């Protein structure tokens, strides 16, 4: 099979910049050193690029999980140009196609099914048909004046943010070369490959707690260096949610930034998946996997019936809990009739608390059932 033609611009760029980063940066550091100012600039620009890609290119423009003020969109457009991962139109078009055809080697621009190298960076180095220029899926973004401004002036913005800005910051401090190497070159290479790790590692190593419909996986360690993007199984299951790390303890600084910006009016209409939808997805996947295991291991039919009963009971309690939770929050938000009395208030509260207790109890029963089925099963009486 004939290989796709080489994209020489990308091949040269993505070959030389890492080569220079691993040679020139440490050599200059060895002979001249880098001071605190230069490291601070490096980390600030690294974060600027990373947040512009994750909060801007990804969660704002590609998935439209929230709306942003023009000032914030302009901020992301500049940071995205600095990251040198193409303009918003190209990036979002490729990413939407990735979600539409995930793992389809012929249509997914960076399908993990074609291996680590291809999904990480190989797809950029050749002119593959799966990554062809096609803006038919980003017509909505073509109405955004900031997106189109960046699209028209992309090359100029790339040069200004990647060369002129680091050089200016270095000149102000008295060492242009150090700033160009650290905040320019090293920052560029690292910020690019941090993003590419989501295309590769996050589709190969990790857990699938919400869905096994694609290769996407949750990887908590990866989230630590990708601004929260490592919770990729959740993202592919609920791609309209502005959060990737849905648990309070999961590291997702992009989510925190978007939420913080909403408090000062820079973001609004943040989309969230409901707790019931998340729990239902987890439950359905656990049930399918356990049922398949029962059939494979010839588990006695009595145990399979118990599994089915617990599953249906869990679904019923989850639905009832959702209804009571909605009623309670409507009351607390004063969205129901003003005539609702104190007695009705107590009844709603007590019913909601009762359903919370029942849901927790059912979850414990379900987890115990799964543990039982993971151990040798005795013959039914």
155-191, pLDDT tens digit by residue? 999 999 999 999 999 999 999 999 999 999 999 999 9
Kindly state whether residues 258 and 291 are assigned to the same domain: no
**Span of 127-141, 242-256, 330-344 with lowest mean pLDDT:** 330-344
User: What's the pLDDT at 345?
Assistant: 62
Count the neighbouring beta carbons within 10 Å of the beta carbon of residue 272: 15
Kindly state whether residues 252 and 314 are assigned to the same domain: no
Is 105 in contact with 98 (CB distance < 8 Å)? Answer: no
Q: What is the DSSP letter of 119?
A: I
Kindly state whether residues 220 and 346 are assigned to the same domain: no
The answer to whether residue 348 is domain-embedded is yes
The answer to whether residue 1 is domain-embedded is no
d(CA 293, CA 315): 21
The answer to whether residue 3 is domain-embedded is no
Is 167 in contact with 179 (CB distance < 8 Å)? Answer: yes
Dump pLDDT digits (tens) for 268-317.
999 999 888 898 898 888 888 887 777 776 777 776 777 777 778 777 77
d(CA 148, CA 139): 11
CA distances from 84 to 157, 184, 189, 235 (A): 10, 11, 9, 24
Kindly state whether residues 288 and 184 are assigned to the same domain: no
The answer to whether residue 134 scores a pLDDT higher than 60 is: yes
User: What's the pLDDT at 380?
Assistant: 46
The answer to whether residue 241 is domain-embedded is no
Kindly state whether residues 167 and 315 are assigned to the same domain: no
Which long-range CB contacts under 8 A does 278-284 form with residues at least 24 apart? 278/210, 278/238, 278/246, 279/318, 280/315, 280/318, 281/210, 281/211, 281/237, 281/238, 282/209, 282/210, 283/311, 283/314, 283/315, 283/318, 283/366
- Considering its fold, how many domains does the chain have in total? 2
Average pLDDT, the chain: 88
Dump pLDDT digits (tens) for 77-124.
999 999 999 999 999 999 999 999 999 999 999 999 999 999 999 999
Kindly state whether residues 121 and 224 are assigned to the same domain: yes
Domain range for residue 335? 275-373
The answer to whether residue 238 is domain-embedded is no
The answer to whether residue 137 is domain-embedded is yes
Kindly state whether residues 181 and 42 are assigned to the same domain: yes
Name the residue among 209, 237, 245, 233 with its Cα closest to residue 112.
Answer: 233
Kindly state whether residues 255 and 302 are assigned to the same domain: no
Determine the average pLDDT of the residues in 228-245.
Answer: 96
Kindly state whether residues 164 and 287 are assigned to the same domain: no
The answer to whether residue 56 scores a pLDDT higher than 80 is: yes
Kindly state whether residues 264 and 279 are assigned to the same domain: no
Dump pLDDT digits (tens) for 309-348.
777 877 777 777 777 666 666 666 554 445 445 545 666 6
The answer to whether residue 139 is domain-embedded is yes
Helical H runs in 180-300?
Answer: 187-200, 220-223, 232-237, 253-263, 275-296
The answer to whether residue 242 scores a pLDDT higher than 80 is: yes
Kindly state whether residues 296 and 222 are assigned to the same domain: no
The answer to whether residue 74 is domain-embedded is yes
Q: To the nearest 10°, the Cα dihedral for 102, 104, 105, 109?
A: -40
Kindly state whether residues 102 and 173 are assigned to the same domain: yes
pTM, 2 dp: 0.87
Question: Both tokens of residue 311?
Answer: 């599953």
The answer to whether residue 154 scores a pLDDT higher than 90 is: yes
Three-state secondary structure call for residue 268: strand
């Amino acid at each position: 099979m004939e290989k796709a033609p080489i994209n020489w611009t990308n091949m040269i760029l993505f070959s030389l910049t890492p080569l220079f980063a691993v040679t020139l940066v440490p050599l200059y550091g060895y002979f001249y050193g880098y001071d605190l100012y230069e490291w601070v600039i490096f980390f600030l620009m690294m974060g600027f690029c990373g947040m512009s890609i994750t909060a801007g290119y990804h969660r704002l423009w590609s998935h439209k999980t929230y709306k942003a003020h023009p000032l914030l969109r302009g901020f992301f457009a500049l940071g995205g140009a600095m990251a040198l991962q193409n303009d918003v139109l190209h990036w979002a078009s490729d990413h939407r196609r990735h979600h539409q055809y995930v793992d389809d080697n012929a249509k997914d621009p960076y399908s993990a099914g074609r291996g680590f190298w291809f999904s990480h960076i190989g797809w950029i180095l050749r002119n593959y048909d799966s990554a062809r220029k096609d803006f038919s899926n980003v017509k909505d973004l073509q109405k955004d004046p900031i997106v189109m401004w960046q699209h028209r002036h992309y090359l100029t913005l790339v040069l200004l943010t990647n060369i002129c800005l680091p050089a200016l910051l270095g000149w102000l401090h008295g060492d242009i070369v150090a700033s160009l190497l650290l905040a320019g070159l090293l920052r560029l290479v690292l910020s690019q490959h941090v993003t590419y790790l989501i295309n590769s590692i996050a589709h190969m190593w990790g857990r699938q707690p919400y869905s096994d419909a694609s290769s996407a996986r949750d990887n908590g360690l990866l989230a630590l260096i990708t601004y929260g993007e490592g919770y990729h199984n959740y993202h592919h299951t609920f791609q309209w949610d502005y959060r990737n790390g849905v648990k309070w303890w999961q590291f997702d600084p992009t989510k925190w930034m978007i939420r913080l910006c909403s408090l000062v009016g820079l973001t609004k209409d943040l989309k969230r998946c409901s707790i019931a939808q998340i729990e239902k997805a987890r439950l359905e996947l656990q049930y399918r996997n356990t049922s398949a295991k029962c059939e494979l291991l010839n588990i006695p039919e009595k145990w399979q019936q118990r599994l089915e009963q617990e599953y249906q009971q869990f679904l019923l309690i989850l639905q009832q809990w959702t209804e009571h939770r909605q009623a309670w929050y409507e009351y607390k938000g004063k969205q129901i009739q003003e005539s609702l009395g104190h007695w009705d208030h107590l009844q709603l509260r007590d019913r909601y608390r009762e359903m919370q207790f029942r849901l927790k109890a059912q979850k414990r029963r379900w987890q115990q059932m799964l543990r039982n089925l993971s151990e040798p099963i005795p013959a039914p009486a």
